[in-house]
Chain A
């Protein structure tokens, strides 16, 4: 090649340049491709959190439709080893402020109920809204003379686990949509969703929405 002088070299150089130009990506093509890829990937995954896109949820790791009570589960009752304790008729929710009280599900149900729509927003990336009915935490704690500025500690029936205990400041505890939930999407809370009673509060990650509640007390 080198012996043949410059002509051939130049021609080759030109055709290579031409090929490079033809295979180079134009700005319009680049933006169009990125746009299609973004919209497409969103459309086939966002349905795990966005109800409207549920139909096109091909690749989201969670799905609302296939889950019990239209809400995915991270930790099941079996996984948390609470099945026996949670279905025990002797279960009581223990409340401790200045006074203390223990209530079963029937007593909790007879208190004024509040309905809220709040999501379980998991740090894993999914977030699903649900309809909850239960008793306001601030009403329960007022019944045991807890101060309105108190920080509360919620303990689960779980024998162990990182999130067996959660705490919340008064800004959450006094909020009117912070509930001890007894019902989920029109049904009795299922065992995997925290039966007999669970915490649901706005603006907190799912792992802090303590399930299978056993005790609510003023944190020392």
Chain B
């Protein structure tokens, strides 16, 4: 048990160090890649002035506190979680990264790409409404999909997950979309009524 815990702590420290080092290295590499294309456009980017010693000290203190909190968290987790479940802890933590990078980020990128051209044609309040609609709908999906999945696996007893969540989610998404579209329609009508001043000249599909 003790050995496993020390191993887990060492692993956590090594991973944190690895993340910090690789991040710095990647940033440097990206800077080098970007440098030649940036150069001819404008004057060479001026380097950030070296921070004041006081600022540097404050940063060190804040960073140190952060590191301590991080270590306390790792230490606590390793004590709360049974050593036999460390693998599952890793799967769970890694799963969050995989879900974010492999599912959430691509979906959001596609969404942005899809709406990139159409959105700027709308007046600003309408853009804000569309974004709010996507955010509320997306959050709903994030909250409810795990429930539908757990329901599919079979709840422990009838008082766990008693609702028809899939149907409710669909209805809720339709309602969110309807409210968003109504809002957009109202904004568009108002901006048209008040003349072409604010609204862009391009017509909206």
A binding-site residues for B, Cβ under 8 Å: 18-19, 22-23, 25-26, 29, 32-33, 36-37, 40-41, 44-45, 58-59, 61-63, 66-68, 72-76, 79, 192
B124 at the A/B interface (Cβ < 8 Å)?
Answer: yes
Distance (whole angstroms) from the CB of A3 to the closest CB of chain B:
14
Q: A25-B131, A79-B157 are in contact. Are A59 and B120 (CB under 8 A)?
A: no
In the complex, given contacts A63-B159, A72-B160, what are 11 additional A-B residue pairs having Cβ atoms less than 8 angstroms apart? A26-B124, A37-B136, A40-B136, A44-B140, A58-B168, A59-B165, A61-B150, A63-B162, A67-B162, A74-B156, A74-B157
30 contacting pairs across A/B (C-beta < 8 A): A22-B119, A22-B120, A22-B124, A22-B127, A23-B116, A29-B131, A29-B132, A33-B131, A33-B132, A33-B136, A37-B135, A41-B139, A41-B140, A44-B140, A58-B163, A58-B172, A59-B165, A59-B169, A61-B147, A62-B159, A66-B158, A66-B162, A67-B159, A67-B162, A68-B159, A72-B160, A74-B156, A74-B160, A75-B156, A76-B157
CA gap between A68 and B128 in the complex, in Å? 45
CA gap between A75 and B147 in the complex, in Å? 19
Asked whether B143 lies within 8 Å of A23 as measured between CB atoms, the reply is no
CA gap between A39 and B64 in the complex, in Å? 36
CA gap between A73 and B179 in the complex, in Å? 37
CA gap between A58 and B116 in the complex, in Å? 33
Which B residues touch A41, using CB under 8 A?
139-140, 143
Which A residues touch B67, using CB under 8 A?
none
Which A residues touch B125, using CB under 8 A?
29
Asked whether B163 lies within 8 Å of A63 as measured between CB atoms, the reply is yes
B interface residues, how many (CB within 8 angstroms)? 29
Distance (whole angstroms) from the CB of B110 to the closest CB of chain A:
16
Which A residues touch B128, using CB under 8 A?
25-26, 29, 32-33
B binding-site residues for A, Cβ under 8 Å: 116, 119-120, 124-125, 127-128, 131-132, 135-136, 139-140, 143-144, 147, 150, 156-163, 165, 168-169, 172
Q: A19-B120, A33-B128, A58-B168 are in contact. Are A72 and B159 (CB under 8 A)?
A: yes
Which A residues touch B172, using CB under 8 A?
44, 58-59
Which residue on chain A has the smallest CB distance to residue B121?
A22
Asked whether B143 lies within 8 Å of A59 as measured between CB atoms, the reply is yes
Asked whether A62 lies within 8 Å of B160 as measured between CB atoms, the reply is yes
Which residue on chain B has the smallest CB distance to residue A58?
B168
Which B residues touch A59, using CB under 8 A?
140, 143-144, 147, 163, 165, 168-169, 172
CA gap between A38 and B60 in the complex, in Å? 35
Which A residues touch B162, using CB under 8 A?
62-63, 66-67
Which residue on chain A has the smallest CB distance to residue B112?
A23
Distance (whole angstroms) from the CB of B32 to the closest CB of chain A:
22
Distance (whole angstroms) from the CB of A64 to the closest CB of chain B:
10
